[in-house]
Structure 1
Amino acid sequence: MTGFAQGLLDALLRDTHLIVPQLFLMAVATLMLWPGDLFFNRNEKHKWAPITLLILAVTAVLITKTADGEGFSRMFRVDGLTRGFQMLCVLAAAGTVALSVKLLDSLKQQTVEYYALILFSLAGMLFLCGASDLISVYFSIELMAISIYILVAYLRDRATSVEAGMKYFLLGAFSSGILVYGISLLYGAGGGITTNLEDLNRALALTPTTSSLLVYAGVLMVLVGMAFKVAAVPFHMWAPDAYEGAPTPITAFMATAPKAAALAAFLRVFGTGFHGVSSDWVLPLTYIAGASMILGNVAAVRQESMKRLLAYSSIAHVGYMLLGVLSGDPKAGAQAVWLYMLIYIVMNTGAFAVVIYLQAKNEGERIEDFKGLGRKHPVLAFAMMIFLLSLAGIPPLVGFFGKFYLFKLAIEQGYVTLTVIALLTSTVSAYYYLGVVKEMYFKEPEGEAAPMGAAQVFIVSLACILVLVGTAFGPWLLKWAGEIFWV
């Protein structure tokens, strides 16, 4: 065995404990794809959903058991930020799997590949949450994204699904090229020595004036590539079509889990790697955050499709969360973003569960399909109203506290104008969310109420309870987040 091979093997054996959850996910997903299809016939494929939920539960336990550390030539780090955002990704994936059962059954599209792809994508997200090198950031993003490209086009007998998957793939490949080129520029600007975030931060701070343009271009290209992954304006073009064409559980997945992982990468890359050159990216990121809030909320007002409304809404919420990335206090910013993302996952998953319920009757695609839901299914309509009002940030619901902590942090860091924009656009969001509430409670119902699946009942009930409990304990949420967020 050569010296290089022996060194690589030693590193793998020494550092493998840092990535046990990812290795477990990829091993299980591979087994599911290979002999897994032999265990259940076509009519029993829905049994893969509870198995996948069990796998996700084991993954969550493995994440909590992973000790702090850095390995693989300092390309991956496990700390509080890593574990916190990894748990958010697992939570979002579990919600997606639970939402998928009834819809895929009704479409007769249950396959083991569907659940395996979710696990592969989740593995990429877990890597991305702890990536501490620009190279590992890139490869983690690709592992995450390739599986989602396939999931978006999963309903291959539907032209809208295939078109959405192709559009997402082409724009995703283009943005990945920009990201790689930006990384290469920064590698050169730093003296061709390292792509490790901490080392790169020190190297860029010592960059000669003659190389400042190279650094600026590299930082902007990395910003563009990563902004695409969270669907921030003006790199959001793929989101509405992809959200509308994808299976609705995958729409819910895209709106939550990849965003949580990408925001963790944002916090690490810009808070650690580019901290010393913040003057190069703070102003562009400020414009991106403001534009996301404005366009996301204004465009949502004109939507007739519920999935497109939630797509533009997610763009606006990304704008709010970027306030935490802009924070000069990495710990406080990470805590505020983590808390907001946790609340958003709960609200969003609950809202999509209601949409999927309506889709069981070939409805739910349009806002007018919610007409009279308050009379046909009062409990479901109440839960949907709670989710929508909380998404709008209307006090005293828990969504208000998520925004309050982010906005307070932004004001403390001097982003007063951006905070005013956030407040005004939140008012706009209340308008279109209340439009759905109006359809549910002030329009005459059409047709009969359909029965809900057990998984949908559980998700809607649990999400509604969590929102109400969070509402009761809102003032203590940030303190709680600080206690469990080991930064």
Structure 2
Amino acid sequence: MILAIKPTFMPALAEILVSLGALKILMVGLFKKNNTLNWCFFLAITTLVVSLLALYSQPAGLQITFNGMFVNDSYTIFTRMAILITGIVILILSRLTAVQEEINKFEYPALLLLALAGMMVMISANDLLSLFMGIELQSLSLYVLVALRRTDPKSSEAALKYFILGALSTGIFLYGCSLIYGFTGLTNFQTLESFFQNQQLTQGISIGLVVGMVLVIISLGFKIATAPFHLWAPDVYQGTPTSITMLLATAPKIAGVAIMMRILMNPFAGLINLWRPLVIVLAVLSMTVGSLTALTQSNIKRLLAYSSIGHMGFILIGVIAANQTGVNASITYSIFYLMATLLFFGGLSYLLRNGKQVETIRDLNGIGRSFPVIACLLGFAVLSMAGIPPLPGFLPKLMILMAAVSHGNYALAIFAAIYSVVAAAYYLIILKALFFDKPQQTTSREMSIYRKYDLSMNLVLASLVVALLVSLLYPMPLLNIIHRATISLMYL
């Protein structure tokens, strides 16, 4: 089948394979009666591995296809590979807990693949229309995934809130695109970039175009949960099973950051003096709301939701710099945040209290004594997210601060450093519960783990730890890869 695909479609081969894999899983789920779930997980993981190999084998250089709507370069290949690897990790980690979390349905891996396909289309979009297609494919799949546990009122409430605010952000995006198209007659990123640069040199930018640009940025702010467009995140994180929360906290954030950087650095590059103040406001509000509100949370998932809002603020600091240093810092921060988040949720997935997933910070009390290995994994993950030296999260935070300084924005760098200290406080609360607080007065049966030895899950968690440590001790290979990827973004 791969050989039958015309060369025009080769740059989108990975997206095609993922979409076909999702359709095949649906067929297997409908017609296979025995051991259906295991087959669906196997097919999903195999599809993502094959798609990853197809993406890795893509030729170097810029490829634009589908009448200029799809771009394939080193930047899109790198970020799409990160999305696919994230999907593989999530499927392996959630395979063990699917029954316990009541998401043991064949629709789960199929919808996850469709969501990943949407994210990959988003990242490779070279036109406002193809970007909208990717956003909708991702969003519609995630809406259903959040509501997959239909008998749980919290999941239904989370899905309804997510759907309403997601529909609002989609409407804002479409209205912004309609304004841009109405004033320019263009939707392609390259032609828009040329138009804006020419307008700046001749007669200036009309207010309608500025409003359209602002609406597009705001809609993308919804997707990555930057303040003040973050209201959906805490409730959705709390109301969904851990496996789906792990997905929401990782892959969509990477895809959203990647396409936001693409839009700001390419079509809106000529409007940098107009969008930079808006992004500064989003970054400052995100760090403020995320860091301060997280301090008051007792639910683990809500705390991590506000934590992710703060992290998005840090990532936007690199975007504000709008240079090679800033873009490299933002992508590096995103990758380290991705690995640490997957590690934390993977360790959290192991733990049960009274046969259910742990929910509050108090549920973690004394885990260091009962399950020291899992406690060490969770502690290593939260300290990495906090960026405490010399752990892995320190390098990307330092790079972000250096990006702000390189741009001359010393006030923003000082502000970010202060909120790094505040953010460390709520991570230390989790660390305190793990290792220093006394366990609750429970019987030994109430706190347990799924299985002491699950080879695939243990290998994934060990690989995440090794990847974080290697990236810390020998960062240059990763930094060189990111640099080569972002060059195509800056000079497309």
1:324 Cα deviation after fit: 2.2
1:347 aligns with 2:340: yes
The aligned residue for residue 265 of structure 1 is 259
Given candidates 183, 190, 195, the residue that maps to 1:203 is 195
The aligned residue for residue 386 of structure 1 is 380
Counterpart Cα distance in 1 of 2:473 and 2:149: 41
Distance 1:389-1:35 versus aligned 2 partners, 3 A rule: closer
List per-residue Cα deviations over 1:165-184 (Å, max 9, x = no partner).
Answer: 11111111111111111111
1:474 Cα deviation after fit: 4.1
1:444 Cα deviation after fit: 2.0
The aligned residue for residue 51 of structure 2 is 59
The aligned residue for residue 9 of structure 1 is none
1:32 aligns with 2:33: no
Counterpart Cα distance in 1 of 2:247 and 2:435: 28
Distance 1:102-1:239 versus aligned 2 partners, 3 A rule: same
1:44 Cα deviation after fit: 4.8
The aligned residue for residue 83 of structure 1 is 77
Query: Is contact 1:132–1:197 with CA below 8 Å preserved after alignment?
Result: yes
1:292 Cα deviation after fit: 0.5
Gaps of 5+ in 2: none
Secondary structure of the equivalent of 2:98?
helix
Counterpart Cα distance in 2 of 1:452 and 1:322: 40
Distance 1:45-1:328 versus aligned 2 partners, 3 A rule: closer
1:271 Cα deviation after fit: 0.3
**TM, length-normalised to structure 2:** 0.91
Counterpart Cα distance in 2 of 1:484 and 1:273: 18
The aligned residue for residue 328 of structure 1 is 322
Moved more, 356-365 or 175-184: 356-365
Secondary structure of the equivalent of 2:206?
helix
Distance 1:341-1:187 versus aligned 2 partners, 3 A rule: same
Secondary structure of the equivalent of 2:187?
coil
Counterpart of 2:345, as a letter, is F
Counterpart Cα distance in 2 of 1:304 and 1:148: 26
Counterpart Cα distance in 2 of 1:86 and 1:357: 28
Query: Is contact 2:100–2:356 with CA below 8 Å preserved after alignment?
Result: no
1:71 aligns with 2:65: yes
List per-residue Cα deviations over 1:293-328 (Å, max 9, x = no partner).
Answer: 111111111100001111111111111111222222
Counterpart Cα distance in 2 of 1:363 and 1:14: 47
Residues 368-447 of structure 1: matches in 2 within 5 Å? Answer: 368-446=362-440, 447=443
Counterpart Cα distance in 1 of 2:197 and 2:484: 33
Counterpart Cα distance in 2 of 1:96 and 1:262: 18
The aligned residue for residue 45 of structure 1 is 37
Query: Is contact 1:296–1:313 with CA below 8 Å preserved after alignment?
Result: yes
Counterpart of 2:468, as a letter, is V
Counterpart Cα distance in 1 of 2:258 and 2:204: 32
The aligned residue for residue 18 of structure 1 is 11
Counterpart Cα distance in 2 of 1:152 and 1:20: 28
Gaps of 5+ in 1: 1-11
1:109 Cα deviation after fit: 3.4
The aligned residue for residue 472 of structure 1 is 473
The aligned residue for residue 297 of structure 1 is 291
What RMSD over aligned residues (CA atoms) do the two structures have, in Å?
Answer: 1.9
Query: Is contact 1:182–1:219 with CA below 8 Å preserved after alignment?
Result: yes
Counterpart of 1:344, as a letter, is Y
The aligned residue for residue 461 of structure 1 is 462
1:185 Cα deviation after fit: 0.8
Query: Is contact 1:154–1:247 with CA below 8 Å preserved after alignment?
Result: no
Query: Is contact 1:336–1:478 with CA below 8 Å preserved after alignment?
Result: no
Counterpart Cα distance in 2 of 1:336 and 1:319: 13
Counterpart Cα distance in 2 of 1:15 and 1:181: 31
Distance 1:209-1:101 versus aligned 2 partners, 3 A rule: same
Secondary structure of the equivalent of 2:71?
strand
The aligned residue for residue 106 of structure 2 is 112
Distance 1:210-1:88 versus aligned 2 partners, 3 A rule: closer
Given candidates 249, 260, 282, the residue that maps to 1:255 is 249
Secondary structure of the equivalent of 1:70?
strand
1:244 aligns with 2:238: yes
Counterpart Cα distance in 2 of 1:18 and 1:394: 40
Counterpart Cα distance in 2 of 1:234 and 1:305: 21
Query: Is contact 2:101–2:241 with CA below 8 Å preserved after alignment?
Result: no
1:266 Cα deviation after fit: 0.7
Query: Is contact 2:319–2:327 with CA below 8 Å preserved after alignment?
Result: yes
Counterpart Cα distance in 2 of 1:305 and 1:108: 20
1:287 Cα deviation after fit: 0.5
Counterpart Cα distance in 1 of 2:103 and 2:133: 30
Query: Is contact 2:336–2:392 with CA below 8 Å preserved after alignment?
Result: yes
Query: Is contact 2:25–2:44 with CA below 8 Å preserved after alignment?
Result: no
Query: Is contact 1:376–1:445 with CA below 8 Å preserved after alignment?
Result: no
List per-residue Cα deviations over 1:193-245 (Å, max 9, x = no partner).
Answer: x2111211221233475852111111110111111010011110100011111
Counterpart of 2:190, as a letter, is E
Structure 1 residue ranges (4+ consecutive) displaced by more than 6 angstroms after TM superposition? none
Counterpart Cα distance in 1 of 2:409 and 2:242: 36
Counterpart of 1:286, as a letter, is I
Counterpart Cα distance in 1 of 2:401 and 2:473: 20
Distance 1:333-1:76 versus aligned 2 partners, 3 A rule: farther
The aligned residue for residue 96 of structure 1 is 90
The aligned residue for residue 231 of structure 1 is 225
Counterpart Cα distance in 1 of 2:422 and 2:13: 44
Counterpart Cα distance in 2 of 1:322 and 1:214: 25
Moved more, 274-283 or 93-102: 93-102
Query: Is contact 2:64–2:72 with CA below 8 Å preserved after alignment?
Result: yes
Counterpart Cα distance in 1 of 2:262 and 2:480: 22
1:186 Cα deviation after fit: 1.1
**TM, length-normalised to structure 1:** 0.92
List per-residue Cα deviations over 1:330-358 (Å, max 9, x = no partner).
Answer: x4433322222221111101101122122
